[in-house]
Amino acid sequence: MAEKSRSQLLALVHEAIRAYTAGAVLHSQAVADRLGLNATDSRCLDILRRTGPITAGQVAELTGLTTGAITGVVDRLEKPGYVRRVRDEEDRRRVIIVPVPEEELPIDACLRDIGRRLEEFLRTYTDEQLAVILDFLSRSAEMAPSGITAIRDKAARLTSPAT
């Protein structure tokens, strides 16, 4: 097979990112369905699992959702026991959202199997390849918030009446 040009490689990477993103969104929705959550609530729960205990305001900042919307998310996550609200010991007016440890939740074997399958898949890469994958994913994740903000700002400008 002939070597691909840089422009061909870039086009293939763009297409692979689109395919990966579509799969990730659909996978995320399947997990949310399995947990009895909507997609937004499931993503917020994932954020809380990665960050650990944070305030609702911090969740809002990380997601771009309003604090009012996050209140509803936390209410829905608290009801089945995925998170709990805890008063901040230093400032009793603040409430910290604490994710319940996974081992304390009745998450079924299907969801646990996802982690095992991913681990097996990642073992097929060398340490050097994993370092490149980690760099790509980390830098992509760092870019995401500004991209989300830009999309929302443009949408707001398009829907706002001219002043």
Are residues 73 and 65 in contact, defined by beta-carbon separation less than 8 angstroms?
Answer: yes
Query: Distance of CA 92 to CAs 88, 89, 109, Å?
Result: 5, 6, 39
- Lookup: tokens for 51: 């960050």
Residue 139 pLDDT class (50, 70, 90 cuts): very high
Digit-coded pLDDT (tens) for 27-37: 889 889 988 89
- Lookup: tokens for 46: 């994932």
Q: Which helix (H) or strand (E) holds 160?
A: none
Digit-coded pLDDT (tens) for 62-84: 888 889 999 999 999 999 999 99
The average confidence (pLDDT) of the chain is: 89
Digit-coded pLDDT (tens) for 111-130: 778 888 999 999 999 999 99
Are residues 49 and 101 in contact, defined by beta-carbon separation less than 8 angstroms?
Answer: no
- DSSP string across 86-139: EE-SS-TT-EEEEEPPGGGS---HHHHHHHHHHHHHHTTS-HHHHHHHHHHHHH
Instruction: Name the architecture of domain 7-124.
Output: Orthogonal Bundle (1.10)
Phi, psi of 90 (to 5 degrees): -85, -30
pLDDT of residue 101 exceeding 70, the answer is yes
Residue 90 pLDDT class (50, 70, 90 cuts): confident
**Separation of alpha carbons 43 and 64, rounded Å:** 12
* CA 93 from centre of chain: 28
Query: Distance of CA 26 to CAs 22, 23, 96, Å?
Result: 6, 5, 30
